Homo-oligomer: A and B are copies of this chain.
């Protein structure tokens, strides 16, 4: 009887360990996505790129499909982002919907680029984003970020629709 109890308890503890891991994964992914804006807006291009895996992809709508950390970092070192950085910008990732499947995950959210224009700010860009993520020995990282400007295009709609279809 006590041995049976032990076995049943152990199963419940094992189930709890799996549930705790999944919750920790969720929190880690929230933190990862929340680090993006602070990294970019403080001009830390390498730190921003390291949110991706080594061979990660950033598909920036209407601009480029960039592969690998070095190329992603170069994006933030280029004139466009240096201009935003010195002018004052907020790369905002809105609260994401996150779905975890074992060692991979997906997230969907809007992103806004807010930039200073004289005494106030403007919303310069509003985009749809879909992230593919992977658990690595160093923690969760982005394998692909797919980004499309919200300009009424089918591609921007499809990007957001992926939150709904799972």
**Inter-subunit contact A86/B152 (CB<8 Å):** yes
Type the 1/0 row for A24-40, where 1 means its CB is closer than 8 Å to any CB of B. Answer: 10110011011101110
- Number of chain A residues close to chain B: CB under 8 A: 71
Within 8 A of B (CB), among A1-47: 2-3, 5-6, 9-10, 12-13, 16-17, 19-20, 23-24, 26-27, 30-31, 33-35, 37-39, 41-44, 47
Sample of 16 A–B contacts (CB below 8 Å):
A5-B6, A13-B13, A31-B97, A35-B163, A35-B164, A37-B160, A38-B109, A38-B128, A41-B150, A43-B157, A88-B126, A88-B150, A93-B94, A94-B95, A114-B126, A116-B151
